[in-house]
Amino acid sequence: IALFSAGGDTSLEWAPKFAQAGTTVVDNSSAWRMDPTKKLVVPEINASVLTKDDKIIANPNCSTIQLVMALNPLHKKYKMKRVVVSTYQSVSGTGVKAVKQLENEIAGIEGEMAYPYPIGRNALPHCDVFLENGYTKEEMKLAREPQKIMDDRTFSVSATAVRIPTAGGHSESVNVEFENDFDLTEVR
């Protein structure tokens, strides 16, 4: 078993080579997540889809994992129609350069910028690059990955991803519309 977390380009180059040699690769990059020939797995939800022939297994985005862990049992019971999620993600999600930018700004030191704007005392709705549709890659991951993991495209997901000036920890605000009546106490 090989755990890959070195970025998409590295995974695209090396995961097939490891797989061909008989090694099972669990990949943490976005390289294989939406590939229709690869499984996107959160073990608590869909580990049963794996077979011994799956040699490259995609690991979802970190914000997707915590989202589907909450949504999956609710979807099974009440059937989701629509999910609106807003994430508030720490600078550590961008990497060490972003953490250093925040530390420098707090200390009043000018330095290399990971973001096009200051992050200290700021919130940037700019997690990853913007796509032609106006959403960022991060937002599109949050919109598409839950459907693949749960093997259900009958519900929609609209996402907003915001980078916040903390060194660690992501949070989410989630609004769910169900098809069936629900008990709010049970949902909580």
List residues with catalytic annotation.
Answer: 62, 170
Query: Residues for the chain: how many in total?
Result: 188
Other beta carbons within 10 Å of 96: 10
User: Alpha-carbon distance 62 to 89, whole Å?
Assistant: 10
Give one word for 69, left, alpha or beta, with left for phi > 0 and alpha for psi -120 to 50: alpha
Report yes or no: 60 and 166 within 8 Å, Cβ to Cβ. no
Number of H helices, E strands in the chain: 6, 7
